[in-house]
Structure 1
Amino acid sequence: MAENDIRAERIKKVELLKKAGMEAYPARSARDATVAEFLTDFEERETSGRRSTLNGRIMSLRRQGGIVFADIFDGSTSLTTGGTGRVQIVLQESEVDKDVFSLFVDTVDTGDFLEVAGVAFKTKRGALSLKVETWRMLAKSLLPIPNEWFGLKDEEKRLRERDIDILMNAELRALVERRAKFWQSVREFYLGKGFMEVETPVLETTFVWRIVAEASSHRGFSKSV
């Protein structure tokens, strides 16, 4: 399907959400745990039956009869919280209101940002999962994300769409995190020594005097200034 057709189809789904009384782009989320925290405390959450509210981006989506499986990712990766930042969510038609299930099936696509609430449980295959009781759209994606298996192979497109490249490329994402952590550590070290961070053009590829020399004006003067 052409990109324009996909966009038009997803805009229709935005309208379906509105008709159902659900905002496609709400301003707030009621998340009470990151995915990494949910997985870290999984055993306790499963035993206690404590309700958890997560949010994240739908990375994969598959349906088997009256059950929908999806993977959500929220960016809480190993360098920040020690978890994977990704978990499977399961929506069962027999466990939720019929309208809740139908709206999910009719409007949710890969790339969407969702808020999901439910309880921790393991599937028959032992996969750590969240059994969804309620869900809410946080941001409806109007364009699909690339297939995870293939990712972004076009080098030019990777450079143009860095946000998607970072989303799909775990190694690049880890590199960005390491860089951020490095500069954070450097700043904290020098701040602890009493230094102050200021922004100055220490290294420039163009001489300042040349910029001034090239900036000329004749307005109201007989000479160039």
Structure 2
Amino acid sequence: MALHDEITTRKNQLAKIRECGIHPYPEKYPKDKAMADILSLKEGEQISTAGRITSIRTMGKITFCHISDISGKIQIVIQEDTIGKDVYKQFHDIYSIGDFIGASGELFTTKSGELSIKATSTTFLGKALLPLPEKWAGLKDTETKYRQRYLDLIANPESKKLFLFRSNVIKAVREFYWRNGFQEVETPTLLHVATGAVANPYKTHHTALNQDLFLRISHELPLKELIVGGFEKIFEIGKAFRNEGIDPSHLPEHTHLEHYSAYWNFEDNIAFTEKMFSYLFETLGIAQTLVMDSGVEVQLKQPWPRYNFVELIKEKTGIDVLAYEAADTLRSDIKKKNISFDGIDQMSLAGLMDNLYKKIVRPTLINPTFLTTYPEILQPLARRNDENQNVVDQFQLVINGWEVVKAYSELVDPIDQQQRFAQQSEHKEQGEIEVMEGDDEYITSMKHGMPPISGLGMGLDRLVALLSGNSNLRDVVLFPLLRKK
């Protein structure tokens, strides 16, 4: 049937529903159990359930239809002898695939061995005026899956399974923090200063205050202010926004986890990270070998190796990034190695170091790997190493070429922090783009005194993608941002 004809048929059915005195969109229905729960029951039990019709098959005076919810599907058997001739005819006059139905009846097993509900009554619960994609053969167009995720969820059971898995991942993360004595807190999304990371922010204007504000690019500074206030172990899960490019591992908004613990250093955070991942693997039933959709295999067995960031770059490129004080010199030596990346001629010293690592080193790190000992210039918020003031006590966890975790011993010296913010400001005045904004209010909080602190940040979209074997973040986000049609 052509789409126009099918829409006309459904509109006519809607009119018929109203003529019969039936409300096409009723207020509620007493649904006892989800489909998955029903399938674990035995024959003879009385059931009342509801869901979307996904198939209808009629054989004379008996009709078989499957209905589904987020947990699964079950078959309803509707017989003319059971519900009456008039009601049976009415069913065929008003129902189509995609409509919502409530059904009550007794569980039984059909001759083909399928547990089903023998309906004694049905209730119309919602009319679909548009047909479902490809008559439930599946929705394959990638852009449509992203733009109309609801159709993807209806048509593709694997998508339902994936997003239920995402929910369980975030639930397990929260449970792990609660079990380890952390308090969950919330900090502002709208800020006067976009800082805590090096990223281009979204800017907006508050009409009542007549002030420009920014969507946060990080949770970091407000969380550390809470440590000043007396909290000792805190975490937050929330959105962070970065007005930058979109690719398989970057989205303009992402679900971000950060935690901070007083009296820890980065070594404590490494141990905590391994402990957290072990908990997630066990709780979620993750195998020791992940097979990505690209075919790449990731071995998850712990303990995970540790490499020195500076030494690894030197091993892969022959360049000791700590030996450079000027961007032009490093840029020249990078080009001599026939290495290039976008924007190389405009990059600062820190930008060159970072992109050299991202271009040459990071793609080679497939199995979980901790990188430590970062140049101080790369992280203005991290504590310098006591033995080498040119590096900071930071680590990243890299899996399948993605940065999954970034953590460090926090800089808690307000004078040092103020100087580093001032250096960033000078770099900005010199035309550098990749700099971190300072925050005077944060400096004021630091001056009231901070204990030793270590914090951690992790993109939960990336975590879900990796644990589910996906290589594109848009596949694990319900409504990824797309260009408007």
Please tell me whether the aligned partners of residues 35 and 73 of structure 1 are also in contact (alpha carbons under 8 angstroms). Answer: yes
Unaligned runs of 5+ in 1: 77-84, 218-225
Is 2:26 the counterpart of 1:39? no
Alpha carbons of structure 1 residues 189 and 12: separation in structure 2 relative to 1, 3 Å: same
Q: 1:58 pairs with 53, 69, 91, which one?
A: 53
Name which of structure 1's ranges 132-141 and 192-201 shifts more when overlaid on structure 2. Answer: 192-201
Please tell me whether the aligned partners of residues 100 and 134 of structure 1 are also in contact (alpha carbons under 8 angstroms). Answer: no
Alpha carbons of structure 1 residues 53 and 204: separation in structure 2 relative to 1, 3 Å: farther
Q: CA deviation at 1:188?
A: 2.8
Is 2:88 the counterpart of 1:101? yes
- Determine the structure 2 residue equivalent to 1:30: 30
Q: Deviations over 1:30-69 (max 9, x none)?
A: 111222221111x2xx2xx332101011111111111111
Show the 5 A alignment for 1:75-114.
Answer: 75-76=70-71, 85-114=72-101
Please tell me whether the aligned partners of residues 54 and 136 of structure 2 are also in contact (alpha carbons under 8 angstroms). Answer: no
Q: CA deviation at 1:121?
A: 1.2
SS in 2 for 1:99: helix
Q: CA deviation at 1:106?
A: 0.8
Aligned counterparts of 1:204 and 1:16: Cα–Cα separation in 2: 60
SS in 1 for 2:158: helix
Q: CA deviation at 1:216?
A: 10
SS in 2 for 1:40: coil
Q: CA deviation at 1:203?
A: 5.6
Unaligned runs of 5+ in 2: 190-195, 213-485
- Determine the structure 1 residue equivalent to 2:63: 68
Aligned counterparts of 1:104 and 1:86: Cα–Cα separation in 2: 20
Q: 1:173 pairs with 160, 164, 176, which one?
A: 160
Q: Deviations over 1:131-154 (max 9, x none)?
A: 111101111111111235631122
Aligned counterparts of 1:216 and 1:50: Cα–Cα separation in 2: 63
Whose radius of gyration is greater, 1 or 2?
2
Please tell me whether the aligned partners of residues 54 and 117 of structure 1 are also in contact (alpha carbons under 8 angstroms). Answer: yes
Is 2:136 the counterpart of 1:141? no
Q: CA deviation at 1:16?
A: 1.3
Aligned counterparts of 1:72 and 1:203: Cα–Cα separation in 2: 48
Is 2:192 the counterpart of 1:197? no
Aligned counterparts of 2:135 and 2:27: Cα–Cα separation in 1: 28
Name which of structure 1's ranges 5-14 and 117-126 shifts more when overlaid on structure 2. Answer: 5-14
- Determine the structure 1 residue equivalent to 2:227: none
SS in 2 for 1:26: coil
Q: CA deviation at 1:26?
A: 0.8
Instruction: Provide TM-score, normalisation by structure 1.
Output: 0.79
- Determine the structure 2 residue equivalent to 1:119: 106
Q: CA deviation at 1:199?
A: 4.4
Name which of structure 1's ranges 175-184 and 145-154 shifts more when overlaid on structure 2. Answer: 145-154
Aligned counterparts of 1:164 and 1:199: Cα–Cα separation in 2: 34
Q: 1:206 pairs with 200, 204, 228, which one?
A: 200
Q: CA deviation at 1:101?
A: 0.6
RMSD: 2.5
Aligned counterparts of 1:8 and 1:204: Cα–Cα separation in 2: 54
Q: CA deviation at 1:175?
A: 1.3
The structure with higher relative contact order (CA 8 Å, sep 6+) is 1
Instruction: Provide TM-score, normalisation by structure 2.
Output: 0.39
Please tell me whether the aligned partners of residues 22 and 136 of structure 1 are also in contact (alpha carbons under 8 angstroms). Answer: no
Q: Deviations over 1:103-148 (max 9, x none)?
A: 1111111111110111111112221111111101111111111235
- Determine the structure 2 residue equivalent to 1:130: 117
SS in 1 for 2:132: coil
Q: Deviations over 1:72-95 (max 9, x none)?
A: 11112xxxxxxxx21111111122
Aligned counterparts of 1:203 and 1:66: Cα–Cα separation in 2: 67
Q: CA deviation at 1:165?
A: 0.7
Alpha carbons of structure 1 residues 211 and 138: separation in structure 2 relative to 1, 3 Å: closer
- Determine the structure 1 residue equivalent to 2:386: none
SS in 2 for 1:121: strand
Please tell me whether the aligned partners of residues 58 and 111 of structure 1 are also in contact (alpha carbons under 8 angstroms). Answer: yes
Please tell me whether the aligned partners of residues 110 and 144 of structure 1 are also in contact (alpha carbons under 8 angstroms). Answer: yes
Please tell me whether the aligned partners of residues 136 and 155 of structure 2 are also in contact (alpha carbons under 8 angstroms). Answer: no
Please tell me whether the aligned partners of residues 70 and 160 of structure 2 are also in contact (alpha carbons under 8 angstroms). Answer: no
Q: CA deviation at 1:96?
A: 1.4
Alpha carbons of structure 1 residues 89 and 194: separation in structure 2 relative to 1, 3 Å: same
